[in-house]
Structure 1
Amino acid sequence: MSRRGPGRESVYRTIANQLQDRINSGEWLPGQRMPTESALVAEFGVNRLTVRQALAQLQQIGMVNIRHGSGTFVADPSPVLEISVDPGTQVDEGSVHASIKSIVNDDVTESVLDYQPDPYPAAAGYLSVERGQIGRLDTLVGSGGDPFAVSSYWIDARRFDGLADRWVPQATLAANLRENYGTTLYYDWRGFSAAAAGALEVEHLGARPGAPLIVRDGVSVDAEGNAVYYVRRRILAERASWVRYRR
């Protein structure tokens, strides 16, 4: 194998990419032990450190599990969350909850991580309330201990006083607002962008610092068209796929 030169990938990354392709092709199945370091050293004609760097990269992206003393094993694939873009949807019922349930067939929870005042300028503009009246609710959406998304909602703290204390973890924000405050939500708009993982995502999603995220943000309104909340939901890019429905 040629060594690194101008414009070439480092050797360990080239090896990692080849091993990843072989895993994806089904040469090694989830749970199966991969060839030993010694076997890979002989196959690729490199030193042991280079092989270890390649395997470490695969472990970092969740392709393998390195068990010291036992070897390297192909990791079970993580369920991928389908992010739907459906222009025909009107009522906000919590599409992320439904998408997660469809792939894991298990109870989905949304737990409160924190609630505090946060006069975020963009949220203030969307909600048309004074900045001092805005509360930020951070939540974690997951199933069976598997985290899928971190969400931040900016909401009128006076209108929905005590929301964090009355929160039901098995319900979506939309369901909590409907049951506790009699407010039915409707989608106003949703957008998509990319961002890098920060402290909240590192802590609760198990992301590495700076890992790519898919951000779904938007505003939901009540029956009178008044903005109720602005949301920024973050999902690891490697755990998300896109579906566009045509009407």
Structure 2
Amino acid sequence: MPPLQVGIVDLRGGAGHARGSVGSGALRRIGRVATNPPSTPLYRRLARQLQERIDAGTYPAGARLPSEPELSAEFGVNRLTVRQAVAELERAAVVEIRRGVGTFVRPPAVRVSIAVDPRSQRFDLGSVHSALPDADDGEFVVGAPPVAGSPEDEEAARQLGRETAELSRVDTVIRLGGRARAACSYWMPFGPLPADLVRPGRPGNLVLDLARAAGVELEYDWRAFGAIGADLADAELLGVPAGTPLLVREGVSCTPDGTPALYVRRRIDGSSARFVLNFRESRQDGAQPGPQPYGL
């Protein structure tokens, strides 16, 4: 596909410089997106024109963008403006900057639907769908850090009605579609946990495995939802920049008599997940009422 040409007036003001340059005139957006107001900063207008080329397939997923000098020459702007425009695209998760290599177009985000059943206290069957599409997908143990009184440990103790010294903790990562999607932490008033259960890299469904190890049956008690910025540990585990928005799903599971037995806290990459509330079992036409989810 030839480069997308957008006719606008460049900073030097001459119509003869219109093709491909970014100037003070309104930058037209292909399709349904409104034009930029004159007050839009130059770097942002350039970022949007590069976004147009990506949307149009001129720069497909995985493609390397032209270098700073090449973009500077093509659009008639300085390299600082180019750098700011590319940084804007990186913040929007459109491109990935690989230091010393170049800037590459990210593939479209694959969104994982997370089922939330508001109708009943269904059994807590764990975090991962029973039929994952890839052998590399699933839940994997990261480690079993000591419960040492961190804010998260204190919250777990409060929710379970125990002292921190009574709790055991396991951290895991859930991988779907070939990449890390969620960092998870579990606390139980039970221990010490079997060594094989907490072996780093061990695959499995930790909710079911913990329930078996404790000899209990688990049901949902409550779940809450929130958002945080990724701390350094979660950022490294999920492969995202520190501060990236993460969806938080936390709550308590209990035994059938209502005794709190598990506190879970999942931090989910917000760019690749959505929560789905399905209020009906099925429609009359037999179709499912919503996306078929993985249960995170």
TM class by smaller structure: 0.7 to 0.9
In structure 2, the CA distance between the partners of 1:231 and 1:18, relative to structure 1 (3 Å rule), is farther
* Matched residue, 2:168: 135
1:217 to 234, 250, 271: 250
**Residues 38-77 of structure 1: pairs in structure 2 closer than 5 A:** 40-41=71-72, 44-59=75-90, 61-66=92-97, 72-77=103-108
Give 1:197 shift: 1.1
Give the distance between the partners of 1:213 and 1:16, measured in 2 at CA. Answer: 25
> Contact between 1:33 and 1:72, CA under 8 Å: does it hold in 2?
yes
Do the aligned partners of 2:221 and 2:251 also contact (CA within 8 Å) in 1? Answer: yes
Matched, 1:86 2:99: no
Runs of 5+ unmatched residues, structure 1: none
Distance (whole Å) between structure 2 residues aligned to residue 154 and residue 8 of structure 1: 52
Q: 1:116 aligned to 128, 146, 163, which one?
A: 146
Q: Aligned pair in 2 of structure 1 residues 185, 164: CA closer, same or farther (>3 Å)?
A: farther
Alignment CA distance shift 1:116-1:69 (3 Å): closer
Check conservation: 1:190, 1:218, Cα contact below 8 A.
yes
Deviates further, 160-169 or 210-219? 160-169
Using the TM superposition, give the Cα deviation of residue 152 of structure 1 relative to its aligned residue in structure 2, in angstroms. 1.9
Which structure: larger Rg?
A: 2
Residues 129-161 of structure 1, C-alpha deviations (whole Å, 9 max, x = no match): 2332123322222258621111122221xx242
Worse-matched range after superposition: 10-19 or 214-223: 10-19
Contact 2:184 2:267 in 1 (8 A): yes
TM-score, with structure 1 as normaliser: 0.79
Please tell me the root mean square deviation across aligned C-alpha atoms, in Å: 3.3
2:275 counterpart of 1:242: yes
Per-residue CA distance 1:150-199 (angstroms, 9 max, x = gap): 1122221xx24225642473212222124333322211111111111112
1:204 to 237, 243, 254: 237
Residue pair 1:189, 1:220 contacting (<8 A) in 2 also: yes
What secondary structure does 1:116 align onto?
Answer: coil
Give matches, 1:169-188, under 5 Å: 169-188=202-221
Return the alpha-carbon distance in structure 1 between the equivalents of residues 114 and 250 of structure 2. Answer: 12
Alpha-carbon deviations, 1:63-96, whole Å to 9, x = none? Answer: 234568886442223432222222246111224x
Instruction: Percent identity, please.
Output: 40
Structure-2-length-normalised TM-score? 0.68
- Distance in 1, matches of 2:144 and 2:63, equals 40
